[in-house]
Structure 1
Amino acid sequence: MLAITDLIVSTSILPKTLSIFWFNSREIEFNACLTQMHLIHGFFMVESGIFVAMAFDRYVAICHPLRHSTILTKTVVAKIGLAMLLRGCIIVLPSILLARQWPYCRTNVVANTYCEHLAVVKLACADISVSISYGLFVVFFVTGLDVAFITVSYIQILRAISSLPTKKTRLKTFGTCGSHLCAIVVFYIPRLFSFLRHQLGENMPLYFQVLISNMYFVMPPMLNPVIYGVDGGHLHCDHQPRTRAHTGSQQNL
């Protein structure tokens, strides 16, 4: 689910961005702009929800390991994925509908390589306070709630790990969360810089603002395969010798 979401976000932005640099194709139809806006912001919410689901998966795996396969069945995982998809697409829809109904009589130049919500609605010659307020609500309430759920999950995980008998066991157990934590950092840190860009944008050069906003959507899809690929390769190389060394004890168990 994470890979598919990253792929959708990337393909929503990069083709148009590359056409700007390669072919100087700087125009985009208004409906296509709104569609791009819905995809990139909607699937950002989807990806944030997936990280919450992954945190819950780590919580069940560490705190209730014997019940993991019965709690997180394929049906449950599919329902969680569908719920995250619907949440992301529906919660962004009002901001798209608001952006569509504003009158645009100022410049039609968006100071970015893609149709970002605030960059588009700021071109409207109307009071856009409703759009700005709803955008802030989505950022603080939805994203903030996701971060809170992830934090609660890891508090419970750390409490369970602290009760393990040896330091080696604690480190090994917490190591199973390494890839998830790295992916969270890669996902939310650019989001924080993007938010600061909107607050301090007047004091930043335009090229720096565009660079940050592109990193916000390009970095996570680019680095997530590396994070999970390296982590998976490490687990595979470390697993085989241990299995052979303890085959007898595993059969006895």
Structure 2
Amino acid sequence: MERHMRIRGYAPLTPNWVELASADPARAAQFYGELFGWESAGDRFKLNGRAVAGLTRSGADRPDGWLTHLSTPDLEDTLEQVALAGGTCVSHPADAHGGRRAIVADPAGALIGLWEPTDFAGAQAGGEPGTMSWPELITDDPHQAARFYGSAFGWLLRHDFGVGEWLNQAHDAIAGLTSGYRGAWWRAAFQVEDISAAVDHCERLGGALLAEPTEDGLTEFAVLRDPFGARFTVAAPVHHPVELTVSLSSMVALPAFE
């Protein structure tokens, strides 16, 4: 029997929500509904009745594209820490559906949302196809990023095999860091069952493949673009077969007893 996990809360300053801003929300809703099996419910996408992502119309203070959010128990206090660390507030605190939100930019210009919940904590499902996966900061200045996010949010940066991984204060892995070029941005990711099938489906719906599927540890991912220009990543767990071999020469012969 298929089981679904419902998420009810998030630790402070960890990714909790992702929202798409589009100049044509109706067409965007149709594309992502077909790609991920989401149902459109006003300003939210739902999967099996659980909210998994947001949808809004783009505007002067909300450019097109996916925006990752972090949960915070005190929006004003977090905004103060962002300013002290060298970041800027680009969209001031405002009431939203189920909470209060602000949008900030790091010193390189990467945008990230801050969400103070009232009766909505964030994505209500995770760890299954069609849900928010590992967000990743793409930046051409990883050293500056490490200083800013460490100071603003208390994050630590760990490098494993050349790949950056953000840890929160509880030392839980929460996001990735990849060296890029031409500025900085946060890239949203969504889990899928099969990478190749997701890529093919995206292209049939009018989207495009921007980066070929790549394996990174136990995850395979690909970078896509929807028909309206928004970039995002799809990720799937990699299942490698485990082979067990027994060397007869290493076996110890035990004496026989009568």
What band does the TM-score fall into relative to the shorter chain? under 0.3
Q: What is the TM-score normalised by the length of structure 1?
A: 0.24
Q: What is the TM-score normalised by the length of structure 2?
A: 0.24
Larger proportion of helix? 1
Bigger RCO of structures 1 and 2 (CA < 8 A, at least 6 apart)? 1
Larger proportion of strand? 2
